[in-house]
Chains A and B, each alone.
Chain A
Amino acid sequence: MVYLTRKAEFSASHYYHNPDFTTEENVRVFGKCANPNGHGHNYTLEVTVKGEVDPRSGFVVDLKQLKETMHREVLDVLDHRFLNKEVPEFLTRIPTTENLAIAIWQRLAPKLKAAQLHRVRVYETPDLFVDFYGEA
């Protein structure tokens, strides 16, 4: 089994808000991130796939296909967007880094053909990242 990781970057804005919370509760739980005008990050995405090396090609996965899938399913949807208002998942879910990693997994997992998705890692900043392995 070999693991291959492809990196990508996207920039987006978001804010944290739970409509079931009062305004005070939102501010208490989410702090500065509750500002409804939003704020942004340069996110770094790492997608790791795993599989056996194809003896004919020497590849675990066709990197070009993986790159295209990441672009089509993830980057085109998230890059330069206000996540809360423009990305369907986040109309109902809070766009935390945890939920971003889960949403990216859910977008990619059904679209990957040859290799199996192993991990989605999302860096919100260089000193904060979340890993999701598809665990329930």
Chain B
Amino acid sequence: MKAYLTRRYMFSASHRLHSDVMSEEENVATYGRCNNPHGHGHNYALEVTVGGPVDERTGMICDLADLDGFVQREVLDRFDVQNLNMLPDFASLVPTTENLSAVIYDIVHRGFKSAHLEKVRIEETMMNSFEYRGK
């Protein structure tokens, strides 16, 4: 039987929303306070959902330790307590939470083979969240 498992992780990072293809005025008009050149930070909550048949021998979709290990190594170690704008992923990509969701989706989709990735959901604050399920 097919079920879906969601695991929630926390990380903290700073960012500045600024697009090189826009003028200064346009950046301020588009991003408002998020365009502050010094950046600002969030405590992000990341939810990773995998789906698949429940293995009759283990009662599990996949080994949770595998998922935790992968996300810790490939996602949290990379983004936690970092300035997102300084990372190669965002060298030419504005680190909005939309883009961050897609970047993290791609990392997990590409590298995690124990179960099928269904979606990535990120809460930037308690008031807003973003989901990405692939293209």
Contacts and interface: CB of A to CB of B under 8 A. Distances in A.
Contacts of A93: 59
Given A98-B54, A98-B59, A102-B54, A128 B1 contact: no
B2 A135 contact: yes
A130 interface: yes
How extensive is the interface on chain B, given as a class? 10 to 19
A127 interface: yes
Interface string A118-136: 0000000011111111011
How extensive is the interface on chain A, given as a class? 20 to 34
A20 B59 CA distance: 13
A88 B125 CA distance: 42
Interface string A91-105: 001111111011000
A41 to B, nearest CB: 14
Contacts of B60: 96, 98
B63 A29 contact: yes
5 contacts: A95-B59, A101-B3, A129-B5, A131-B4, A132-B1
Interface of B: 1-9, 54, 57-61, 63-65
